[in-house]
């Protein structure tokens, strides 16, 4: 298991756990970042937001929030 911000561009992963404050959990849930979601990392470059594809949409997430999401890489 690793944090979302450690997934490389082009890799696919499944969200295993989402941790953080209730405010963050509410926001993550509202944009569809829930356990079991399969995502594909589109862009992961230092000091820039993460861009990932999940639920038929592109999601931008700051790197600090990516540290609070645990994933299993599948490919």
Integer Cα distance of 47 and 27 in angstroms: 22
pLDDT digits (tens, 9 = 90+) for 63-73: 999 999 999 99
Integer Cα distance of 2 and 13 in angstroms: 10
pLDDT digits (tens, 9 = 90+) for 14-55: 999 999 999 999 999 999 999 999 999 999 998 899 999 999
Q: Which domains does the chain have, with CATH numbers?
A: 2-73 (2.30.30.90)
**What is the reported pTM?**
0.91
Alpha carbon distances (Å) from 27 to 9, 18, 31, 66: 23, 11, 6, 13
Integer Cα distance of 52 and 50 in angstroms: 6
The pLDDT of residue 75 is: 72
DSSP 20: S
């Amino acid at each position: 298991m690793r944090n979302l911000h450690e997934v490389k561009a082009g890799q696919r992963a499944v969200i295993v756990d989402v941790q953080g404050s209730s405010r963050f959990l509410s926001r993550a849930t509202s944009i569809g970042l829930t356990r079991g979601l399969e995502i594909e990392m589109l862009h992961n470059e230092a000091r820039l937001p993460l861009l990932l594809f999940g639920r038929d949409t592109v999601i931008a997430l700051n790197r600090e929030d990516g540290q609070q999401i645990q994933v299993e890489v599948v490919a």
